[in-house]
Structure 1
Amino acid sequence: MSDSPDTAVENIVLGQPTVGEEELAAVAEVFRSGWLAGAGPACRRFEERFAKAVGTQHALTTSNCGSALYLGLRVLGVKPGDEVIVSDYTFPATGHAVLQAGATPVFADIRPDTFNADPASIESLVGPRTVGILAVDVFGQPGDFDEYRAIADKHGLWLFEDAACSAGATYKTRPAGSLGDLAAFSFHGRKGITAGEGGALVSDREDLIAHARKLHTYGIEPAFNREGSDELPIPTFHEAGFNFRLSDVQAAIMNVQLDRLPELLATRRAAAKHYHDAFAGLDGVEVPVALPDREHPWQTYALMIAPELSRGQVALKLRERGIGCNFGTYSSHLQPVYGEQRPLPVSADVFARQLAIPMHSNLTDAQVERVATVVREVVTELS
């Protein structure tokens, strides 16, 4: 047998949930309760706590962020023939929701530093069929919501925040989720808090959330709303709805995840600072920008690779050395599903050059340092 040292390289994954015994105990409690289905007591408890955490009066749990986005558009009255201005640099679930509501997404170009929608681009796109603005908090950092609101008010539009990645973020001390007329969150496995899947729709407007609550349960009030009645309430269907409910099993996990949120954010922010320091002065990459008037939750840490380097080669060499990585997200206007679109040069450039490296709350200091070391080595080799 060879007595040579073990040279196996540890793989450091791009993203990973932080879950454990507390989540298992919460799920066991739901099992004991007998209510595993959606829109039950665990969901209602999480909704109350989550609304408070994001600074809104109301919250509705949903099966995922895509269903939350679609429900939001429906209760805002979006219909065929309408146009909705959408941040271009985002996972296409944002634009898909507009298509699914029967409307047309009109994509706005982005700021080159934060990757959020450029207010000047939004203003230039307002037309006679525009009904609202769907602004994405890219990688969790909120965009320029004071400017977005001013544009919306000027033209009589609604403002909808896609806060899929934004749990725990703030904009000028206001929590992400409280920045528009409605906001949608994701609890997918890559997000800062997660039940594997799930989402939420939040708002200060009781009428919008009440309507969405009916639509997300086939068009009637959820069964839990009828618990405790001294009669036999028989709901009536006035419009066709959907099954967009979060299960109580998932809601139990989310209640624990919400308790964890401050610790999870602190770990991600420490990792981001370490990366920032490690890449300072490194030719060939630009680090992401965190603006001083908002708190970034660091759902993703994405570098911009210099045009003279091959992002594909950087990614290949990182993966060969055990470092997980991937492109940032999508330049939506380039996706064939949306048909022919006007050029959006900033978004297209970011889409071509951005590379996400490991960012999650389980990263150790040693893993963060190893990622930083390997990135520096690879970029230097290829420069």
Structure 2
Amino acid sequence: MEVYLVGGAVRDALLGIAGGDRDWVVVGQTPQAMRDRGFRAVGRDFPVFLHPQTQEEYALARTERKSGRGHRGFVVDADPSVTLEQDLARRDFTINAIARRPDGTLVDPFGGVADIEARVLRHVGPAFAEDPLRVLRAARFMARFAPLGFRVADETMALMRAMAESGELAELVPERVWQELVRALASKAPSAFLRTLRECGALAVVLPEVDALYGVPQRAEFHPEVDTGVHVELVCDMAAELAPGDDVVGFAALVHDLGKARTPAHVLPRHLGHEHAGLKPLGELCERLKVPVAHRRLAEVACREHLNVHRLAELRDDTVHDLLARCDGFRQPGRIAQLALVCEADKRGRTGHRDDAYPQGPELLRLLEAAAAVRAGDVLAALPEGRTLEGPALGAALRKARIAAIHEARTL
């Protein structure tokens, strides 16, 4: 078979970074010929096969022709006459349109190697505009590669801007938008994802609740960066640093301040009650993108409680207990650990404050541990002989005992 290594594996090797899965292109073969060699077909929309030993993906060289709106509107041709160069021409960016022969030499018809050296993300050709999902892919690649010095080529940004203006981004299915978003949030620089989408006008289409934060002022004594959108960028990057690869924490960091976009103009730059005001736009975003439950629950908790965690030292013992209970922390202590990370990212995601200490995080976990150590069985065991409690009465007694444990832990 005429086989070439393609895509991310080639690109990442040239960048000197660890790559993930390896993808292969097969030229001059038919689906039946692949099956005859023991490959197992897995592609639904075009011919993709798994190698019988390595289980790596081998795709027949193919071309694509636009047949409708959205990222699904394509007709695929995987005829054996399709050349490697034709297959590479349908790809999104030049840095992804490089193939490697078995002898190690490269096939680079669109200058991808030069763009890697220049740190430029550039589209391969005009067919880029046929798939609106590629706008999000560009932003997601920037979330990964901006720390390496990459920028979007001017002509690519102009094309992305035209695509956003065309209205085709509205055709994207929620699952694909969510997939690109979480991959960006798990990258090193989620801020680059937001900035790229905003620069081309796509952020207002796919994440209008986040786009609305830009230009909203905050009090400079607490937020030297002033602009709420810039603050969210800093918080997302700090979350990526504190919890690398954790897109659950990353999503909560992204949406924790959505309520600030709803502050009446005459109140600005103060944001009284923005925590609760953010729950409605958060719910709308989650419904639209079909956000998974784990992401949504932490996001709701972070939106509602982040100011309470910031002022943890000022809260009464019973207020601390009730905060933990509202977050379901006694059943899901991991959620409190994630909340602490989001709150730390919020506090340190401000201009000039990235190196600040955040003692509230470990203190919140310490108080949770003290309270959670008290069980219903402990309360019942402490009752006088012959007495028992159940239902709401047991719940009230357990709450009281846990508040006492929090108080004792704070006096140590």
Higher strand fraction (1 or 2): 1
Higher helix fraction (1 or 2): 2
Structure of greater Rg:
2
Length-normalised TM-score, structure 1: 0.25
Length-normalised TM-score, structure 2: 0.23
